[in-house]
Amino acid sequence: MIGKLRRLRRILRNGRTLIMPMDHGVSKVESGLENVEETLRAVSDYIDAVVLHKGVVKHSRIIAELEIGLIVHLSASTSLSQDPNDKRLVSSVENAIAVGADAVSVHVNIGSQTEGRQLEELGQVCEVADSYGIPTLAMIYPRGKVEVNTETVTQAARVGYELGADLVKVPYVEKFTQVVKFCKVPVVIAGGSKESEYELLRKVESALKSGACGVAVGRNIFSSPSPRDIAKALHHIIHEGMSVEEVMEYEGDLVAGRWR
């Protein structure tokens, strides 16, 4: 398990992490994904890890030189599908290792019509990853007709823990301490839909106080007019323990007005 612990330390620094998922392009092409390399260069001083699909890693000119963790995403679906919640495995642990992954991630939609198969695949990926000493990040969301609330998110996090994930990503909800209480592996919150920078920072600050170990923020960073500024502000809160007010005061004119 030494290999897994060493790889986890590249992602969880002193028990905290700022992950930037950029795997969205399979689901739907979004603003900010035009130049992944440019965005990674801009934020690499402040994020701990990035989530990418194998093709982006394979063709990257800079991944090898960046001092950030690499998480290769193994599952996908598109927004054009009759059932976008039907996530399918599109790569393997072995391929992720071949392209240099520090960890793999799998997306599971509990409450969806294909929940059973997705759970089966997550369990199998965790077993294979364990055999290679590769950490698994389980991204688990209540979907379909299932309401997103404290109860369902707690269930989602518990599923990831029980099926063998080393790190779990779930939506943020009120009473997040309940979610963390039932999940005995580190929990990160999903950045979610695009929102104001101030709302994002408040949410992250609250999640950390409730026991989350960090956040996985994608479009709220890469779709921002200034990805580096957002990543830097999140880094202050996650790794330096600064409050939102302290970040706003520290950054001065950078956040005054625009982040309120």
Please identify every residue annotated as catalytic.
23, 141, 169
Assess contact for 184 and 210: CB atoms under 8 A.
no
For the chain, how many residues are written?
260
Helix residue ranges, H only, the chain: 2-11, 36-43, 54-58, 93-98, 115-132, 150-162, 176-181, 197-209, 219-222, 227-240, 244-251
Distance CA 220, CA 76 (A): 20
Collapsed DSSP state (helix, strand, coil) of residue 136: strand
Distance CA 255, CA 157 (A): 33
Buried/exposed 114-142: b ≥16 CB within 10 Å, e otherwise: bbeebbebbbebbeebbeeebbbbbbbbb
Q: How many CB atoms lie within 10 A of CB 218?
A: 22
Of 32, 112, 123, which is closest to residue 77 (Cα–Cα)?
A: 112
Give the strand pairing for 75-76 and 17-21: unpaired
What's the sign of the alpha-carbon dihedral 118, 124, 125, 126?
Answer: positive
